Amino acid sequence: MRATVLYGPRDIRFEDREDPKIEKPTDAILRLAATCVCGSDLWPYRGIQKIAQPTPMGHEYCGVVEEVGSAVKTVKPGQFVIGSFCISDNTCPNCRSGYQSGCQNLEFMSRAQAPVLRVPLADGTLVGTPDKPSDQIISSLLAVSDVFGTGWFAADAANVKPGATAVVVGDGAVGLLGVLSAKLMGAERIIIMSRHEKRQRLAKEFGATDIVTERGEEGVARIKDLTNGIGADSVLECVGTEESMVQAIQSTRPGGSVGYVGVPHGMKLDVWPIFFKLVHLHGGPAPVRRYLPELIKLVWDGKAEPGKVFDLVLPLEQVAEGYRAMDERRAIKTLLQP
Amino acid sequence: MRATVLYGPRDIRFEDREDPKIEKPTDAILRLAATCVCGSDLWPYRGIQKIAQPTPMGHEYCGVVEEVGSAVKTVKPGQFVIGSFCISDNTCPNCRSGYQSGCQNLEFMSRAQAPVLRVPLADGTLVGTPDKPSDQIISSLLAVSDVFGTGWFAADAANVKPGATAVVVGDGAVGLLGVLSAKLMGAERIIIMSRHEKRQRLAKEFGATDIVTERGEEGVARIKDLTNGIGADSVLECVGTEESMVQAIQSTRPGGSVGYVGVPHGMKLDVWPIFFKLVHLHGGPAPVRRYLPELIKLVWDGKAEPGKVFDLVLPLEQVAEGYRAMDERRAIKTLLQP
């Protein structure tokens, strides 16, 4: 097969790779219906996160099971499945407490920007759809694999409750799906911090009630204005920089919650001002496996269309252009068709 | 009257000060039954936290109301009361959500190492006891004012539940009362990190089941050993240094909670490793006012004796020796009798 490999900064190649095959009895082989480029892929793509060697890329995926190892019990060849970007056994104590992204046998998926994919720990990682999905919902099912699951976790970690005021810091695909998640969880007021007109429109479509274009201290002041000087109940940090994290914390009311899912890069937090803010902080790599059944059902029942974040669809072989478009912020998120 | 003033590093003076009087209609004047020295007083005492001018000291207090301003409704002259170290109106949105330490009219008490004390916002800050207390429980009622309330908040913020495993980082008075709080909240296993024999004994008396003397990475490894390699459900951070905070976070299971109440000094947290630990973080200055009715009742009913942390009792005029004994770790906590 041909698949995606990152060789160095902005050097994405679509090249011959060995076909995946069952390596362990717990593996499954999937023929992918769709895959995509993640905002977090841009860190190594831009050279900010170093890679030691040519690295197969991609961790979002859905498709049809082709083959399973002898120990696999819950998924079968022919079945349409979605998996988390975190590979988990779903049986260890951490998985059982709902933190599959902290699984004792955790691996992070890579290699998914490809037509065929080997998924380890298939029983613990994959969840099937009720039936063969229509083409129309493939993009939304794909989104569940990471970007919707991560936006959902941001909202859950920020403790969004019916009637709450939520702020979303970041207008990338995760932030936008944080808006959708907050809406689905019943938030009454959803404020997105965004300066990008196209993303603002999609945020409104997903349920945002207010747009704040200011950043830093001015942005915090605007949030305070909009919340009677108190701050928001729930703030979703979907960027991962120090500036965005401080902005998120300062926008939260005392006793409120920040859910942070932006992968932190070189972030050193001064704890003194946080201490006096009295906020709850929770976040990390999203335990998408916990949410898969619920989120698949939302998509299946037509109650959520997270696939709307894909505003560029390319054949997989044009993956390099998919990265470029996101790097240059021409696209929110690129879907790749094998 | 004569009262306590800090002039500079290790320069505590007990000197003539003007008698407090009602300044605003919401004030109350208390004649104190007891006051004490707090671990946090040692930061300015040691010169680590700079003071700009001679500073009246003390923020833990209980005693009898002598006089109230014209607007005070809930406390009366003659009544025995306890107040939080945070002065709060108890009516603003932050107070109503249980975060009186984030009150919109917040002041931090000072001046309480004195025989007579003016308490602003008396209705929002003070809570009376059911009756005149016996001398035997004065020390435990005093503890409620900050040190027990703060240990309680650490346990609450760390989400201690019946049957949980809790770790307490820090064997100061707050850490020791964190042990007591975790015990009262139903923790099954309570591990204290301590190297000090006398404090270990008191921790056991309060309900600690295990003692860990190792620190840093070795300490974390011991906690992992004691928790089947998973980490603890709840960790109480009662020190406030970067080392103790990292130790607390690393000792927590994925999805577990860290309650942090040690006032952070120069703490810059690297968020990258925290991100992958998937812990909940909550803390800050304890909203003691929220807990006052419950904690006063626990003491009144004989179900908690937090006053045991006072292992040195001095007349107020010997306050300088009270500071020295704590600075040199000869005393856990000094009670001062006016």
Q: Identify the CA nearest to B213 among candidates B229, B238, B196.
A: B196
**pLDDT of the residue at B86:** 98
Interface residue ranges in chain A relative to chain B, Cβ cutoff 8 Å:
93-94, 97-99, 101-102, 104, 228-230, 245, 253-255, 260, 263-272, 274-285, 287
Shortest distance between the Cα of A1 and any Cα of chain B, in A, equals 33
Shortest distance between the Cα of A63 and any Cα of chain B, in A, equals 28
Extract the tokens encoding A109.
């998926």
Extract the tokens encoding A289.
């496996």
Among the partner residues A266, A276, A280, nearest to B280 by beta-carbon distance: A280
* β pairing state of B334-337 and B312-315: parallel
Q: How many CB pairs under 8 A join A and B?
A: 114
- pLDDT digit string (tens) for B216-244? 999 999 999 999 999 999 999 999 999 99
**pLDDT of the residue at A36:** 98
Confidence band of B265 (pLDDT split at 50, 70, 90): confident
Judge contact between A63 and A105, C-beta under 8 A. Answer: no
Judge contact between B275 and A285, C-beta under 8 A. Answer: yes
Residues of chain A neighbouring B233 (CB-CB closer than 8 A): none
Interface residue ranges in chain B relative to chain A, Cβ cutoff 8 Å:
93-94, 97-99, 101-102, 104, 228-230, 245, 253-255, 260, 263-272, 274-285, 287
Distance CA B245, CA A43 (A): 28
Distance CA A60, CA A41 (A): 11
Among the partner residues B245, B255, B269, nearest to A268 by beta-carbon distance: B269
Give, in order, the Cα–Cα distances in Å from A249 to each of A84, A255, A258, B268: 28, 11, 7, 15
Among the partner residues B101, B269, B285, nearest to A271 by beta-carbon distance: B269
Confidence band of B266 (pLDDT split at 50, 70, 90): confident
Residues of chain B neighbouring A254 (CB-CB closer than 8 A): 94, 97, 99, 101-102, 284
Residues of chain A neighbouring B99 (CB-CB closer than 8 A): 254-255, 278
CB–CB contact B284 A272 (8 Å): no
Q: For the beta carbon of residue A107, count every other beta carbon within 10 angstroms.
A: 13
Q: Identify the CA nearest to A216 among candidates A261, A263, A169.
A: A169
Residues of chain A neighbouring B274 (CB-CB closer than 8 A): 284
**pLDDT of the residue at B336:** 98
CB–CB contact B253 A93 (8 Å): yes
Among the partner residues B99, B266, B278, nearest to A278 by beta-carbon distance: B99
Distance CA A335, CA A128 (A): 21
CB proximity list for B333: less than 8 A, separation 6 or greater: B36, B37, B38, B39, B147, B172, B173, B309, B310, B311, B312, B326
- pLDDT digit string (tens) for A195-236? 999 999 999 999 999 999 999 999 999 999 999 999 999 999
**pLDDT of the residue at B263:** 85
Distance CA A191, CA B1 (A): 54
CB–CB contact A282 B281 (8 Å): yes
CB–CB contact B264 A280 (8 Å): no
Shortest distance between the Cα of A334 and any Cα of chain B, in A, equals 26
Confidence band of A272 (pLDDT split at 50, 70, 90): confident
CB–CB contact B101 A267 (8 Å): no
Question: pLDDT > 90: what percent of chain A?
Answer: 95
Q: Identify the CA nearest to B136 among candidates B20, B302, B318.
A: B302
- pLDDT digit string (tens) for B185-209? 999 999 999 999 999 999 999 999 9
Question: Is this model's pTM higher than 0.90 or not?
Answer: yes
Decide: helix, strand or coil at residue B110: coil
CB–CB contact A284 B277 (8 Å): yes
- pLDDT digit string (tens) for B113-127? 999 999 999 999 999
Distance CA B324, CA B258 (A): 31
**pLDDT of the residue at A266:** 78
Judge contact between B258 and B248, C-beta under 8 A. Answer: yes
- pLDDT digit string (tens) for A98-141? 999 999 999 999 999 999 999 999 999 999 999 999 999 999 99
- pLDDT digit string (tens) for A161-196? 999 999 999 999 999 999 999 999 999 999 999 999
Instruction: Determine the residue of chain B that is closest to A245 in CA distance.
Output: B271
Domain A2-146+287-337 -> CATH class: alpha beta
**pLDDT of the residue at B267:** 82
Q: What are residue A169's DSSP bridge partners?
A: A193, A237
Distance CA B93, CA A336 (A): 48
Residues of chain A neighbouring B252 (CB-CB closer than 8 A): none
Judge contact between B254 and B279, C-beta under 8 A. Answer: yes
Instruction: Outline which parts of chain A fall under CATH 3.40.50.720.
Output: 149-283
Instruction: Outline which parts of chain B fall under CATH 3.90.180.10.
Output: 2-146+287-337
Decide: helix, strand or coil at residue B194: coil
Among the partner residues A94, A264, A280, nearest to B275 by beta-carbon distance: A264
Judge contact between A259 and A154, C-beta under 8 A. Answer: yes
User: Is domain B149-283 in CATH 3.20.20.150, yes or no?
Assistant: no
Confidence band of B287 (pLDDT split at 50, 70, 90): very high
Instruction: Determine the residue of chain A that is closest to B257 in CA distance.
Output: A282
Decide: helix, strand or coil at residue A275: helix
Shortest distance between the Cα of B303 and any Cα of chain A, in A, equals 28
